[in-house]
Structure 1
Amino acid sequence: MSAPAPARERHFAHWPPGQPRHLTLPQTSLFYNLEVSAARYPDKTCIHYYGRDISYREVLRAAERLAGFLQGHCGVARGDRVLLYMQNSPQWVVAFYGIVRANAVVVPVNPMNKTDELRHYVSDSGATTIVVPQDLYPQVRPLVGEGGLAHVVVACYADALDAAAPHAPALVQAPREALQGPGVALWSDVMDRALEPGPLEVGPDDPCTMPYTSGTTGAPKGCVHTHRSVMCSAVGGVRWFGRSQDDVYLSVLPFFHVTGLTGSLHGPIYAGATMVVLTRWDRHAALLAIERQRVTVWQSISTMMIDFLAQPGLEGRDLSSLLVVRGGGAAMPQTVAEELLRRTGLRYVEGYGMSETMAATHINPPHRPKPQCLGIPVFDVDARIVDPDTLHELPAGEVGEIVVHAPQVMQGYWRPPEANEEAFVPLDGKRFLRTGDLARIDEDGYFFMADRLKRMINASGYKVWPAEVEALLYRHPAVQEACVIGAPDPHRGETVKALVVLRAEHRGTVDAAALLAWAHEHMAAYKAPRVIELVDELPKSGSGKVLWRELQEREWRSART
């Protein structure tokens, strides 16, 4: 009688039918995907944007023109970092591919970030150029000439619209402004100049993009991803779900985040499919897109799906085109998944990944998904559950830390070097990434989240790192000490709460409401505290460290009573 398979191999019994276990990846740059799709389907719609169809030929031409400008006017050279700071739009798509066509590295930045937060991305990445929409230019303007930032390409969303776009939000319909300032170039002028780029020099092992994440330290860290690691997630997602050039994707998850970037942008372009792009989440606009554009693939998160299914008049609307509804970031509540199944006949397929892994390392098998489950390791992923202290592999059913070795894992953090020493461990001659997430493997080899080692708040799928929020709070002159924890929230799952000790001279003159208003002015909306509690002191260990876990547990315990 043969020995039972290790826990990490049990999922192969439930592997998606017809799929290979190994996926051979293209030995090309990511830009080549756009070139191939434009050559195969030049007149096919690449992007549908509030009523306007933009062809693959048009997207390719625009990306090449931006690349020519970045090289010829901004001096962008191979390996340079370029910030991309805007919301989903045709210009976002063109900018990403234009930057990599210029042999440079895309640094995607959450458009909710404010000037104080953006300053770190500029200084840490060493970027001299940024692409920004006109509504966010005021956030960038104070940084131009400060450090190395010298060039600002300013786009207007309305330039990508047809004359009539009744369902576009006001932000998108705002007419182009004749902005002027140091280093400013309008997107429309860049397109009109039509500068030709130099040769495409980068290949699979060159840096491609550098999304930022945070962690135990206050400052976000760049995750260095090559064209190969980005390609792995893009190709793997298309193959896992069996999609083709005739699919239509609802691309509403933010492109600055690795989940939306790989599943709702790079995947469709690799396949030659169509993307229906929404700049802002709007449940009615999403419904119209599904009905009118015959959307087949929708990558969503739980809060979007809850909102979508709750809209009045949904009963009787035509959702029959949908073939795949997938997502991750936070578990989908069972009642919502059941309502989706009732209305569409589709099961929500969840996955798991990180910025460090360019999105998914685990996805549920589409033919056999389990609810509120991370899924199984996808192509060529070696994922294990280990004891966090000894790193010994644990059997099925026991809770330990997820570690992964996979082609989509980043090369490492941009800075500082010691961060990589903490992030990676050698096992069986392989380099494994420590995720900081605690999980267990069930009898079928599926992974289920149990807890997390890392100090992180998951608010509606947005990852909020308390140390980063605390570092920003300390900039307020009244704050002596701050501890940020996650608090239960019926809509977001978790929300951000700060316990603050005021400096003696500000007690009685600064209240929680004033601190809340200041935080929302200086931080992205998703990470700014929703609740601030003023306290006389914070509990500390013998070595003087704030006992954040004690405060965290106390908060959740009080919510249950």
Structure 2
Amino acid sequence: MFTRHYKVWPKDLPKTMTLPKTSLYTNLELSALRYPDHNAIVFYDAPMTYARLKREVDTMAGYLQAQGVKKGDRVLLYMQNSPQYVISYYAILRADAVVIPVNPMNRAAELEHYISDTGSTVCMAGQELAGFIAPLIGETNLEQVIVASYNTYINPETDLTLPAEVAAPAWSRDIPGVVTWEAALEAGHKPGEHTAGPDDLAVIPYSSGTTGAPKGCMHTHRSVMATAVHRVFWNLSTPDGVQLSTLPFFHVTGMTGSMNGPIFSGATSVIMTRWDRTTAARLIERYKVTGWTNIVTMAVDFLSNPELGSYDISSLNMIGGGGAAMPVAVAEKLKKLTGLDYIEGYGLSETMAATHINPGNNPKPQCLGIPVFDVDSRIIDVDTLEEKGVGETGEIVSCGPQVTLGYWNRPVDTEASFVEIDGKRFFRTGDLGYYDEDGYFFMVDRVKRMINASGFKVWPSEVEGLMYRHPSIHEVCIISAPDPKRGETVKACIVLTPEAENTTTKDDIISWCKEQMAAYKVPTIIEFVDELPKSPTGKLMWRTLQEQEWQK
């Protein structure tokens, strides 16, 4: 067991944490029992108590079961942050089914993969996304889409600036297989007995890999419970805490820190559907927000607001996140403005968010943190698997209660992603790092071929696979290019077919990509080349292009 970090362990916390042997839904059930009149959610000035949240969760769970959703079935959740997202998530769990969180940026080709891979027959979708998923009813396994209109849950008298999708009129289209959120609730179905336990599957977030198609990370109620409980105690959260929820709930960090954690502790989540730095500042002031988990680019934008000084944000007592290293200058600005250190952490979809977090009373800048409760983390040689020592770079591997069981329907990938050390099963993160004398972990590079664009992971092989559908593309290689705002951005090096050389433009390619894939995956730079470098065996030498791009 790695214990070097015990010397800097928070003095008020135990080093091990006994987890509840219950389902995630039970957390909501208990908070509704303990704090029925306490606000679970505030959505653009519209409050929702724990009693109401549980009531609507149970009713929606009854509807899902009435549609034939059984224990262990997978249900797609394709929606932006909203009360309906929280209700959908916990309704799926209450129905003993499994949540399949889908990035709202995903489009037709990606949605087809999620449906076929999970066998889902039901999707709960936001109205601005229904047009992308509804055409797949009958063309795939999908049988029904439940459409939520966000504006039915806002306070009509709010003076806050509303995102377009929140302000939009409620869904009114009549499409076979599509039912409105209100109709589902008004059906008034009651759910059967809740039987899911800690070892049943709860959530399968998808994490792309180097082999192309996204892979589903199998998480049980126990593993999802682990990060929710860990986060609450690490931050010493209470029912009186107020969390600003700006990270997307489909992402494991937002799911854990801004939804599951607050529900476990009975706290309040102030939910934003879209990021807006001025609205965020107004909400912090208005609702006395105490905690805010974000990504670095979001914090940078917030602190760059020239009007920030006109808002009272003194209620904040915790601000942190990850996605990229926090620039020292920005961290210093935050410290000067609020007196707070930016608490960085580290985790993956495969670990349901954090395995490492900086101690609140002793953080280190641009650092992943230390292993949290019951997490054993090591550094190993990528090839020999030999364990490394202090300051030696190798692959970060972790063993803990939050680690995935493996990849859905992919036993070979699962086997390749774990290694046994001292009789324990460690997950291979694919990230290169090292730890210092005090047991703090630092990131160096990535073993896997991955682009980090503003905290979003872009997997080149997946984008390449989608782009090969374009009739004008003969060959394509996706690499990262430096970007002053995103850190990295996506670049496509393309060999056109002979027929397309004089007729296809860079703008044509980008426009096509926008229709086929999530916006953050779309190449922002296109370079037409005569040929791509290959090894003597014909293997694409992507690393050569990558190095040339960054050397520029």
Instruction: Tell me which interval the TM-score lies in, with the shorter structure as reference length.
Output: over 0.9
What aligned pairs does 1:326-337 form with structure 2 within 5 A after superposition?
Answer: 326-337=320-331
State the secondary structure of the residue aligned to 2:53: helix
Structure 1 equivalent of residue 71 of structure 2: 78
Structure 1 equivalent of residue 254 of structure 2: 260
Contact 1:225 / 1:410 at 8 angstroms: preserved in 2?
yes
Structure 2 equivalent of residue 191 of structure 1: 185
Structure 1 equivalent of residue 387 of structure 2: 393
Shift of 1:203: 0.2
Q: Distance in 1 between matches of 2:495 and 2:404?
A: 38
Which has the larger displacement, 131-140 or 21-30? 131-140
Structure 1 equivalent of residue 152 of structure 2: 159
- The number of residue pairs the alignment matches comes to 551
Q: Distance in 1 between matches of 2:192 and 2:203?
A: 20
Which aligned runs of 4 or more in structure 1 are off by greater than 3 angstroms?
none
Which has the larger displacement, 165-174 or 491-500? 165-174
What aligned pairs does 1:507-522 form with structure 2 within 5 A after superposition?
Answer: 507-522=501-516
Contact 2:393 / 2:434 at 8 angstroms: preserved in 1?
yes
Shift of 1:309: 1.1
What aligned pairs does 1:334-483 form with structure 2 within 5 A after superposition?
Answer: 334-483=328-477
Shift of 1:473: 0.5
What aligned pairs does 1:19-168 form with structure 2 within 5 A after superposition?
Answer: 19-72=13-66, 74-167=67-160, 168=162
Q: Deviations over 1:14-34 (max 9, x none)?
A: 001110010000000000000
Structure 2 equivalent of residue 486 of structure 1: 480
Contact 1:150 / 1:182 at 8 angstroms: preserved in 2?
no
Amino acid at match of 2:294: S
Shift of 1:135: 1.2
State the secondary structure of the residue aligned to 1:413: coil
Q: Distance in 1 between matches of 2:305 and 2:140?
A: 47
Amino acid at match of 1:311: N
Q: Deviations over 1:133-174 (max 9, x none)?
A: 111111012211122100110110011112223322231021
1:318 paired to 2:312: yes
TM-score in terms of structure 2 length: 0.99
List runs of 5+ in structure 1 lacking aligned partners: 1-5
Shift of 1:316: 4.1
Q: Distance in 2 between matches of 1:62 and 1:187?
A: 11
Which has the larger displacement, 503-512 or 172-181? 172-181
Q: Distance in 2 between matches of 1:510 and 1:142?
A: 29
Contact 1:251 / 1:299 at 8 angstroms: preserved in 2?
yes
Amino acid at match of 2:290: T
Q: Distance in 1 between matches of 2:158 and 2:537?
A: 60
Q: Deviations over 1:236-292 (max 9, x none)?
A: 000011111110000010000000000110000000000000000000110001000
Structure 2 equivalent of residue 3 of structure 1: none
Shift of 1:193: 1.6
Q: Distance in 1 between matches of 2:126 and 2:455?
A: 25
Q: Deviations over 1:470-511 (max 9, x none)?
A: 011001001111110111100000011110111111111102
What aligned pairs does 1:164-183 form with structure 2 within 5 A after superposition?
Answer: 164-167=157-160, 168-183=162-177
What aligned pairs does 1:304-315 form with structure 2 within 5 A after superposition?
Answer: 304-315=298-309
Shift of 1:523: 1.2
Q: Deviations over 1:89-142 (max 9, x none)?
A: 000000000000000000000001111211111111110000001111110122
List runs of 5+ in structure 2 lacking aligned partners: none
Q: Distance in 2 between matches of 1:447 and 1:437?
A: 11
Shift of 1:43: 0.6
Amino acid at match of 1:219: A
Which has the larger displacement, 165-174 or 225-234? 165-174
State the secondary structure of the residue aligned to 1:500: strand
Contact 2:147 / 2:171 at 8 angstroms: preserved in 1?
no
State the secondary structure of the residue aligned to 1:32: helix
Q: Deviations over 1:337-368 (max 9, x none)?
A: 11111110000000000000000000001110
Amino acid at match of 2:107: K
Contact 1:179 / 1:186 at 8 angstroms: preserved in 2?
no
Shift of 1:183: 1.4
- Partner residue of 1:249 out of 243, 254, 263: 243
Contact 1:301 / 1:332 at 8 angstroms: preserved in 2?
no
- Partner residue of 1:284 out of 266, 269, 278: 278
Amino acid at match of 1:417: P
Contact 1:480 / 1:500 at 8 angstroms: preserved in 2?
yes
Contact 1:500 / 1:533 at 8 angstroms: preserved in 2?
yes
Amino acid at match of 1:116: A
Contact 2:243 / 2:292 at 8 angstroms: preserved in 1?
yes
State the secondary structure of the residue aligned to 2:509: helix
Q: Distance in 1 between matches of 2:138 and 2:488?
A: 39
1:549 paired to 2:543: yes
Residue identity over aligned pairs, in percent, reads: 56
Structure 1 equivalent of residue 500 of structure 2: 506
